[in-house]
Amino acid sequence: MSIFRRRGTGSRSFPHQGKSTLIIAVVLAGCGACAAMDTGSADPPFSVITYQPRGVGGDLALLEGRLTLIDGCLVVDRAEGMTLVYLPRPTLRYTTDGFWLYGRIYRLGDPVSWGGGGYGLQDSTIPPACMPLVDEMMPSFTVSSGPHA
């Protein structure tokens, strides 16, 4: 004997039965990037300089260009040259081929337009692949710890 009854076969009617499946299907259909979104990866697919923000920070400066790598380290290729980027650690999640930041997945070659500026960072983590670029004093940009439009 089953405890589940088909709608209309018993004395009780369940008006919401079947609607949850439709809602789930609509939600999943509206999330085309969800399958590619692997926000649980602990290891980045390339070296990324990160920092621990001490507040929201400002975003008066603008960095525009395309994401690329130099010797395995993430940089932004701008018209003016290459720029190291410091990304805020708490909001950064890695995917199998990029990273998730403020509601968007970024991959190599993607254009970026980020607010932030050039700040002295005491709480930054610089991976070994990025140290030569830091030592050469390549221009750097700290991406704001606040959400981007």
Sign of CA dihedral 115, 124, 34, 108: positive
For residues 101 and 33, give the distance between their C-alpha atoms in angstroms, rounded to a whole number. 14
- Token code pair at residue 18: 């079947």
Helices and strands in the chain, H and E counts: 2, 10
139-149 residue pLDDT tens: 999 998 765 55
Check residue 137 and report its DSSP letter.
T
* Helix, strand and coil in the chain, % to nearest 5: 15, 35, 50
Give the highest mean pLDDT range of 51-55, 79-83, 141-145: 79-83
pTM score of the predicted model: 0.68
Instruction: Go through the domains of the chain in sequence order and give each one's CATH number.
Output: 49-143 (2.40.50)
pLDDT over threshold 90, residue 22: no
